[in-house]
């Protein structure tokens, strides 16, 4: 059933399902089942069925799910049938790596500009892009209708740069700086900090 607010944790798993389905398609599968996806992902089949049931009925009893049509369905639920432009702020090691990353292209995103504030960085070529002065951020965001930004600046600049992005009209932020950035609650933010993962795992090491 499709209305009445799906739990966020369910939404968070859909991209994972989509990623598994892509891999299945690559390996030539035409149909799959909740149990096959489950064993692939290391979760329970009931969870997959329950998650999908929040959005509708996409499977055939006895047969399972069509790999391509479930992909299409998930893409449309996640609003990535379209291609979203993203800006990257920060042209250091991480920003450069992300700007060069080829994995956005077929998953719903396209890097449309890279910004930095350091005179030494502005004008440099990174992959397809020329690093622009961050002063042009608002113009690019407006002109291209950019909603998503990735923040790849040092921790002590992250809040200021995020404030700029939000003021320019950015509505979703993926933050690589190892610090908690505050945004208005009209804006979504998620964080990537590899050290957090490492510290989590060391807890379990003998």
Binding site for a copy of itself (CB under 8 A): 11-12, 14-16, 18-20, 23, 40-42, 77-80, 84, 86, 93-94, 96-98, 100-101, 103-104, 107-109, 147-148, 150, 155, 171-172, 174, 178-180, 182, 188, 190, 192-205
For DNA, which is the closer residue by CB, 60 or 110?
60
d(CA 49, CA 37): 10
46 binds DNA (CB under 7 A): yes
Binding site partner of 57, from DNA, a copy of itself, none, Cβ cut-off 5-8 A by kind: DNA
Contact mark string toward DNA, 59..78, x via CB under 7 A: xxxxxxx-------------
Strands (E), 41-105: 65-66, 84-89
For DNA, which is the closer residue by CB, 57 or 156?
57
Q: Which two tokens stand for residue 41?
A: 């992902």
SS3 assignment, position 185: coil
Name beta bridge partners: 111. 86
SS3 assignment, position 16: helix
Binding site partner of 197, from DNA, a copy of itself, none, Cβ cut-off 5-8 A by kind: a copy of itself
Give the sign of the dihedral formed by CA 53, CA 55, CA 57, CA 62: negative
**Residue 43: CB minimum distance to DNA, A:** 6
Q: How open is the CA angle 102-120-157, to the nearest 5 degrees?
A: 75
For a copy of itself, which is the closer residue by CB, 64 or 92?
92
For DNA, which is the closer residue by CB, 88 or 189?
189
110 binds DNA (CB under 7 A): no
Alpha helices by DSSP H, listed for the chain, are 8-26, 34-41, 45-53, 67-77, 93-100, 137-144, 155-168, 194-202
d(CA 53, CA 69): 15
Q: Which residue has tokens 């933050």?
A: 175
35, 40, 85, 140: which one binds DNA (CB under 7 A): 35
44 binds DNA (CB under 7 A): yes
Q: Which residues bind DNA (CB under 7 A)?
A: 1, 7-10, 33-35, 43-47, 49-50, 52-53, 57-65
């Amino acid at each position: 059933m499709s209305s009445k607010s799906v739990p966020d944790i369910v939404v968070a798993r859909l991209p994972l399902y989509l990623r598994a389905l892509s891999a299945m398609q690559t390996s030539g599968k035409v149909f799959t089942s909740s149990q096959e996806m489950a064993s692939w992902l290391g979760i329970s089949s009931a969870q997959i069925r329950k998650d999908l049931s929040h959005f509708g009925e996409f499977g055939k009893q006895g047969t399972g799910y069509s790999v391509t049509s479930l992909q299409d369905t998930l893409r449309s639920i996640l609003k990535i049938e379209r291609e979203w432009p993203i800006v990257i702020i920060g042209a250091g090691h991480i920003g450069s790596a992300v700007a060069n990353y080829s994995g956005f292209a077929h998953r719903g995103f396209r890097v449309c500009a890279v910004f930095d504030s350091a005179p030494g960085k502005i004008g440099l070529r990174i992959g397809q892009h020329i690093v622009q002065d961050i002063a042009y951020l608002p113009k690019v965001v407006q002109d291209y209708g950019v909603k998503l930004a990735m923040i790849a600046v040092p921790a002590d600049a992250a809040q200021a740069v995020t404030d700029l992005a939000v003021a320019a009209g950015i509505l979703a932020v993926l933050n690589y700086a190892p610090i908690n950035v505050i945004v208005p609650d009209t804006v979504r933010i998620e964080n990537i900090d590899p050290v957090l993962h490492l510290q989590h795992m060391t807890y379990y090491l003998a």
